[in-house]
Each structure stands twice: as C-alpha cells, then as structure tokens.
Structure 1
Amino acid sequence: MTTSNEWTFNGTDGERVARTWGAAGSRGSAPAPRYVALLAHGYGEHIGRYEYVADYLVDHGAIVHGVDHAGHGKSAGERVVIHDYEDVVTDFHTFSDLARRATADLPLVLIGHSMGGMIAARYAQRYGDELTALVLSGPVLGRWQTVDNLLPLDPVPETPIDPATLSRDSAVGDSYVADPLVWHGAFRRPTLQALKSSLALISRSGNLGALPTLWVQGTDDQLVPLVDSRAGVEQIRGSALTEHIFDGARHEVFNETNKDEVLAAVTRFVDSALRN
C-alpha cells in the first residue's frame, strides 16, 4: 500500500484535513508522476475510504490528493452540516492550489463520487480551465430523490444510508457500518436545502465545453438512481463525454466486486485525455 501523508489547511469556516498519496519518497524507485489526481468523496463519508482508489492511481502514475469536506471525516464543522456548497467548492479549490504547489506543471484530473461528483461538476464549471479531465462516479446531478423525499418532512426522519446499497461486496457495507468517521445518522435539513440549491445552480450554469469527461455508474444504483444522474449529466455535458454503465453494480463502483474493471476504465480514459 502506498504511504500517505496527512496535512491540514484553513477552509472557509475551519480546518480541513487532507491526504496525499504518491508524494516524493513514498514510491521507492517508481518513475516520476505523470499527472495529479484530486479525489472528492461523497456524503457522510471521508477520504480515508479511498485508499484502494489512490493506490491504483499511484500505480498508474499519479500523485493523488483528497480532502475531508466540511463537517465530514476529520475536518472541522458540525457533522454533515453544509449551508452552501459554493463554500465547499471554494475550499476544494484552495486545497487544489496548496496540494499542487510543487507539481503545478502536471496535468490535473478531478474524480468525484456521489455528492463529490456534484462538487466536482461545479468545480469544473468554475475552474474548468485548470482541468485536463473530469471523472464523475454515480454523481448527484439534476435531482436527488432522497432530497426531494426528505425535505418536506418535519422532522427529517432518522433514516441513515443503507449499507447494502453501496456494493455487492458485503464486506464494504460491514466496513462502512464499523467506521467511526462515517456519519450514521439522519440527513440534516440545512444540508438537504444546500444540496437542492446546488443542483439547481449547476443545472443553469452551462455545459462543460470540450473538457474530457467520464461518467461511470452502476445499473443497480439504488442510492443515486441512474435515471436521475443521466438527466443531470445531460444538462451539463459538453462535447467530450464518455460513459461506462456497469451492469448490476451498486452505488460505490470503486468498491464494487468489479472495481478493477471500473478503475481500468478510468485509467484508460485518463491516458486518452493525457495524450490529447
């Protein structure tokens, strides 16, 4: 497993905890990195759940950076409470600038999963000229039925994410349930409202132009339904969209039983973007 280094920076409203894989000295005699990959995690989780993804990308020639969003994982903030996702995107841009200070000349690939896919899409709308490629995994885009179903309810019911929806690999759900850095409680109303506002903003903020974009998702994604993601992707798609829909896969395709197939599709896409 690749050595990772944890570091911190000041976000819009508190300390953010970030992690880097594949930095100088951690890869032994491996060749110099070819690109930088940024990882944006999903709702209620944290960047520590992406060790396997980071290892795979480091082996592919990346330096990988990820950060716990506000109120998530080890970062500051009331647990899973986000009032404005524009602040989250601003924090992510600060994180990107700091992470890449020594490697600013390398191509930049942004990979976002679920809520992180929404954050990544908005980042691309705001800062797309910095990116060489964008990868969206099971992205929350267009609409999210969970938000629409929960917002009208008062109080918001104590309905945590069902771990069985994450992967066909039961060990993934078991690990998720046992992880103290994962949020296992109810959705928070301010976050639901912020999600709805961000989805609307993304939908009306234009397409991604010629930015090479890969969309990956499973046909059995019950947490973020494929039909909703497709509608959202269609709203922002530019002229360079590639999609890979994996039959039978659930929400976390990077943790699925065929995760190597999924990550191979990602690295092939990255290679193509780097060549162009």
Structure 2
Amino acid sequence: MAAAEPSPPYTEAWLDGPEAHPFYTRTYPSSASGPPKAVLLFIHGYNDHISRHADTHAELARRGLVVFAYDMRGFGRTALDEERRSPDEAFGRTNRLVEVRDLEWWVRHVAKAHEGLPIFLMGYSSGGGLALAFATRTSTTPSPETLALISGIIVIGPLLMLKHQPPWLLRNACRLLASIAPDFPLPANQPYEVRGLSRFSRDPEVQKSLCEDPMRKPHGTALGLWDMISEGEELARSGWRRWPPDLPLILFYGAADEINSPVEGEAFFDKLPCKDKQFVAYEASGDIIQIAVPADAMHELMHDIGDVPQRFINDSVRWVEERAFRQPVAA
C-alpha cells in the first residue's frame, strides 16, 4: 500500500468577501510549540497568486506566526477557477479603491478569526504598494477603527516607482483608457529577462517557474494598471505625509531590484514621519559565487539565491516578535 501523502501545512477555503464575492484563501496555522505570536495578512503582487508563496508562508508558520492569504480580485484562483470564481471576474479586473475595500474586509475577518492576536500586514511588490496605501488613504476606507487593528506593516519590494518607466505614449494611453474604458485589456507582459538575466530572482528555477505559471497572464486592464502605477507615484510624491506616526513599518528591498526602484523606496522611507521604521536592502552575500548574476539580491527576496530567503525570514520574524504586543489590539 502506498504511503499517504503528507497533509499540506495550510487549510484552503473559498470565502465570501465584500458583496458575497468568492475569494480563494489559505490559512497557515502556527506549527511552533506554544501559542502563536501574531497573524500575518499577506497581500500578493500584480499578476501573482498566493500558491507561489507556500514555502515562505509555511516557514513563517513554523516560526510561530499564523499566515492568512487570499488571491485578490482579478488574479489567481479567485479570477481563474472555472468552478468557483464569480461570474463578474476577469483577469486583471481591479482598481485601488476596490483593493483597499477588500483588504479592510479581510483585516476585519482576520481580527474575528484570530481574536487577541496582533495583526501585521505583509505586502509584496504591488501588494506592498497596497499595504502602504491602506495606511495613508484620505477617503472613508479604511476606517480609523480598522487601521487601529494593525500592529505593523511589512513591505517587500513595494511598488512606489517602477525601475524602468513605461514609454510616455503607453503611459498616457493607459491613463486615458482608465477613465473611459476601465476594463479595456492592455498588454502588461513582465519580461523575466533583461540581457539574459532574470529580473525577479537570481535563481534560474524561479525564472523558469514564472515563465511556465498558467496563472500568470501577459495582460491586465487599463484601470488596474493605471491605479497600480499612479497611486504608487502619489505615495512617493506626497502621500508619505499621511503616514500614521505610531504605525511601525519595515521596508525590504533587494539592492539590485530590477522591478521596483529601491532608490525611490529609500527616499520615501527617509521622508516618512514614522516613529518606528526600518529600511533593509540586501546586498552582496559572501556565499554568492555565480558569475552571470548580479551580486546583490533582486526583486523576489523570498525566492532569491544563497542565504537571502532565510535572512528575510529571520529579519521579518524578529521584527514582528519585537512589536507583537507593544500596542493593544483594538476591540
């Protein structure tokens, strides 16, 4: 008799979010001894999905954290699952207002499901930009009561400014279409190589998996793309002024990030009126001996080479542990 396959380190569920919209979700319970230290609400990037980050989430759970993650509208199984997706779903159909509203709903959900645990947002790439926007919105979303539930924010290569800006003509076409035809499909291919080198990770297996991933598509929608780029730029330009001074923040970048600019990220960090902030850029590690790769870490720190993924995990867990019980969890 064949041995039974080990159970996955997570539970998956289709949950109805705002307006009863179905979302694909995963929860990784803490597998460390003792009670969990905190819960991380993970926000994936553009053209991304939570299944790609299973290894990172499982490792965080082994270190005593609960991880909750959901495929956002327009992406992953939430958009592409033929049996469970909403009839109004389409790949890339999203906008920043909807993303913030959805995130507020999930923060409230996590607070109820894991009552008493401090909640930290962890956003990657454009999901990092969303996490930063969540703390600086001037509209009624999120409410002050929801924001008070957050004990800290972790962002990984957040989108503030693209490293390589799109051509002026394409940028203005996107802006115009976003206002008159928000769901108009636009090419949004993410070139995984530049001059033969990966733009996401120095690991060739990661590059291969990105190219072959059936849930990554070479297009988006006009409004989804415009909001992602323009709202990141607004944060870098003036939105930093709205940061809540008492909300802790840590920004992680690969020093050789070819997607989102670590230089602009550090400039944003320097201006933030935040009492508890850290900026971490992973530079050359002594164990990197390959020739045809950049010396410094790239965009996807969780899946880079050498000791970068473990350094990222260690730094993240340590940062959360130091802040997990500093501020009271709102009722």
TM-score between both structures, scaled by the size of structure 2 = 0.74
The equivalent residue for 1:217 is 253
CA distance in 1 between counterparts of 2:325 and 2:107 reads 23
What code does the residue aligned with 2:320 have? V
Bigger Cα displacement from structure 2, 245-254 vs 47-56? 47-56
- The SS at the match of 1:132 is strand
Aligned with 1:194 (options 227, 251, 263): 227
The equivalent residue for 2:302 is 254
What code does the residue aligned with 2:127 have? G
Q: Answer yes or no: is 1:152 the counterpart of 2:172.
A: yes
Q: Answer yes or no: is 1:110 the counterpart of 2:121.
A: yes
5+ residue gaps, structure 1, are none
Identity of counterpart residues, as a percentage?
Answer: 21
- The SS at the match of 1:229 is helix
What code does the residue aligned with 1:69 have? M
How large is the Cα RMSD of the aligned pairs? 2.5
Deviations 1:22-61 (A, max 9, x none): 17xxx4x842212111100000010111112211211121
- The SS at the match of 2:250 is strand
- Partners of 2:10 and 2:26 within 8 A in 1: no
Question: C-alpha displacement at 1:153, in angstroms?
Answer: 5.1
- Partners of 1:6 and 1:18 within 8 A in 2: yes
- Partners of 1:147 and 1:195 within 8 A in 2: no
Deviations 1:160-199 (A, max 9, x none): 112321111111111112221222x134322222224423
- The SS at the match of 2:278 is strand
CA distance in 2 between counterparts of 1:235 and 1:113 reads 21
Question: C-alpha displacement at 1:118, in angstroms?
Answer: 0.9
- The SS at the match of 2:269 is helix
Q: 1:47 to 1:259 in 2, by over 3 A?
A: same
Question: C-alpha displacement at 1:228, in angstroms?
Answer: 2.5
Aligned with 1:179 (options 190, 213, 233): 213
CA distance in 1 between counterparts of 2:77 and 2:165 reads 25
The equivalent residue for 1:97 is 108
Aligned with 2:61 (options 50, 58, 63): 58
Question: C-alpha displacement at 1:148, in angstroms?
Answer: 4.8
The equivalent residue for 1:169 is 203
- Partners of 2:12 and 2:24 within 8 A in 1: no
Q: Answer yes or no: is 1:231 the counterpart of 2:264.
A: no
Deviations 1:40-87 (A, max 9, x none): 0000010111112211211121111011111000114221122x3121
Question: C-alpha displacement at 1:122, in angstroms?
Answer: 1.8
What code does the residue aligned with 1:232 have? F
CA distance in 2 between counterparts of 1:158 and 1:6 reads 31
Bigger Cα displacement from structure 2, 172-181 vs 191-200? 191-200
- Partners of 2:28 and 2:58 within 8 A in 1: yes
CA radius of gyration, larger in: 2
The equivalent residue for 2:151 is 132
5+ residue gaps, structure 2, are 1-7, 80-88, 137-141, 178-184, 193-197, 284-295, 327-331
What code does the residue aligned with 1:109 have? F
- Partners of 1:207 and 1:235 within 8 A in 2: no
TM-score between both structures, scaled by the size of structure 1 = 0.87
The equivalent residue for 2:288 is none
CA distance in 2 between counterparts of 1:106 and 1:274 reads 8
What code does the residue aligned with 1:124 have? A
What code does the residue aligned with 2:313 have? L
CA distance in 2 between counterparts of 1:153 and 1:130 reads 39
Q: 1:197 to 1:153 in 2, by over 3 A?
A: closer
- Partners of 1:34 and 1:106 within 8 A in 2: yes
Q: Answer yes or no: is 1:245 the counterpart of 2:274.
A: no
